[in-house]
Amino acid sequence: MKKGGRKEGTDMAKMADRSPQKVAAAKDGVSRPSWETYFMDIARLVASRSTCLRRSVGAVIVKDKRMLSTGYNGAPSGLAHCLDIGCIRDKLMVASGQRHELCRGIHAEQNAIIQAAYHGFSIKNAMLYCTNLPCAICTKMIINAGICRIYYQEGYADELSLTMLGEAGVEVIQTS
């Protein structure tokens, strides 16, 4: 046994199952998630706070491996949540990715950017970890806020966002 009670040697069979993206370091059989996995896991946890009936989205803004702010989708502070009063978009049969103005909720990315500004954090050259690819409205905010890279898990029904992000030079990476 080594100091700290760890066994000597590494069980390579266990490590063979783990993707290099998900494991940053393996030492003495102890593995750690990569920074990308760590922050995306946090974004998924933040999404669990969502009050939207259609989709739970979480966002984390990171700079120099430090979380600056988080956001999830839901009604503005102090207003009734869709969980409590129902979804306007469902009542009006508005498709996902359409007519964003017909919604009580603020998107997770918007909330994360607003929280950073509210608390006085510069997010220029920061990275965004988001459970979903941002919509076109959030994309415009992301570009103007100076966010340089987006990690996301799932797509979104708004093709314009990818076009604008590419044109602005924002790196976009889909994770698993």
Range list of H helices, the chain? 12-16, 35-47, 82-85, 88-92, 108-118, 136-145, 159-168
Catalytic residue among 109, 154, 159, 171: 109
Residue 32 DSSP SS3? strand
Task: Supply 127's token pair.
Answer: 């990275």
Q: Is 109 a catalytic residue?
A: yes
Is residue 34 within 8 Å of 22, Cβ to Cβ?
Answer: yes
Q: Which residues are catalytic?
A: 109
